[in-house]
Amino acid sequence: MYERKKVILYYQKDNRYSFNPLIPIIENHFELFFAQDELSLLNLIKSLEGEKLILFSFFTTQIFEIKEVIKKIKELKEKALLLFAGGPHPTARPKEVLNFGFDYVVSGEGEYLILEILKKQPNQKIVYGKKVLNLDEFLPFSEKHKKFGPIEISRGCPFGCYFCQTPFIFGSKMRHRSIENILKLVEILIKNNKRDIRFVTPNAFAYGSADGKTINYYLLEELLKNIRNLIKDNGRIFFGTFPSEVRPEFVNEKTVSLIKKYCDNDNLVIGAQSGSERLLKILNRGHNVFDIYKATEITIKNNLKPNLDFIFGFPHETEEDIKETIKVIKDLTKMGAKIHLHTFIPLPQTPLFKVGLKDYEISKEFIKLIRELLPKGKIYGQWEKQWVIRKKLIEFYKNIDSE
């Protein structure tokens, strides 16, 4: 073990799933510490002796908070300290993040190179990660440090929605963890009294699919059946729900029947995003409005609750698009669905990033809809917080460079 080097993770709620696969790689080589907030991080830096390596992973929505934390760390004037950044935003904007005050930035997937970087810092300040071709080679959580979470079963997405970072960071080809490996991980969770089994995947019903677009019913059932046979009544399986979702065109009688047969969730999270046919095409969603209605109908028919994601404030959104989306939302809530509402946030490395950096007022019709559905418990989400972040991002990037 590299005794003199202490590794501190800025381990917050929003980034813990990003860190969890790295912890098992690091933990046998360095002494690890976890800071869950700014105060505990600053106290750790001041109290620990020797060289300290501090790791951050963050989304675009966190950049203002992270910049303030880095500023306060710099004010401590610690000499034996290096700052590392990784995650979605550093991957998309590595030069920008380096200028926040970081010593090194990892752009891309870091599992294959994290130890090399921590043991011996590279000559270049920006290091580009290699794609993780085989998820079986890496654990998704740490038993040693009791940092558990959902099992990542797939990575990458073939659909390329223009507002989403996933395919641009992880690639368009889906990579799947093997069923054998997943079962070993479930055994670890059960052994540690973690009896709720959840999963991380861009689209749960695409598990095992060679192209990510065609449902592999056999492998999907084999996955769920084997987990159920393993845990029996000693645990619960949550699939196609938080923290993952399913695409609407993947919801059919057969896929939903697998949820009913093997799983414990009472709901499905379905990515609808818009009720405008025109806008769905512009966004490169790969499904239509009919798919949304059909998925909702099938979900309710099978006594599951549909929670549908919708986003407002897209850069190409017109008044007609808004009216159509509002109509669809009203129809779905009358059917029995709940709406998870989001504000569009322009994310770097996506086709809508630059065009999305323009001021936009919330439609009065959307405000009216929210006021109508919120008291009835039919709509929820953090659209207000996201709206504030969007305004700050627009101001931050008003003189955007060419990176």
Ordered structural domains, the chain, with CATH: 5-128 (3.40.50.280), 135-396 (3.80.30.20)
What pLDDT was estimated at residue 362?
86
Shortest CA distance to 267 belongs to which of 227, 320, 304? Answer: 304
What pLDDT was estimated at residue 1?
47
What pLDDT was estimated at residue 325?
98
Peptide bond into 90 cis (omega under 30): no
The Cα–Cα gap between 74 and 344 comes to 33
User: Do the Cβ atoms of 58 and 15 come closer than 8 Å?
Assistant: yes
pLDDT in tens, 272-311: 999 999 999 999 999 999 999 999 999 999 999 999 999 9
What pLDDT was estimated at residue 195?
95
What pLDDT was estimated at residue 156?
94
What contacts 24+ positions apart, CB below 8 Å, involve 385-389? 386/61, 386/342, 386/343, 386/345, 387/313, 387/343, 387/362, 389/61, 389/64, 389/345
- Please list the ranges in the chain whose pLDDT falls under 50: 1-2
pLDDT in tens, 142-182: 999 999 999 999 999 999 999 999 998 888 999 999 999 99
pLDDT in tens, 298-345: 999 999 999 999 999 999 999 999 999 999 999 999 999 999 999 999
Torsion of CA 4, 37, 78, 48, to 10 degrees: -30
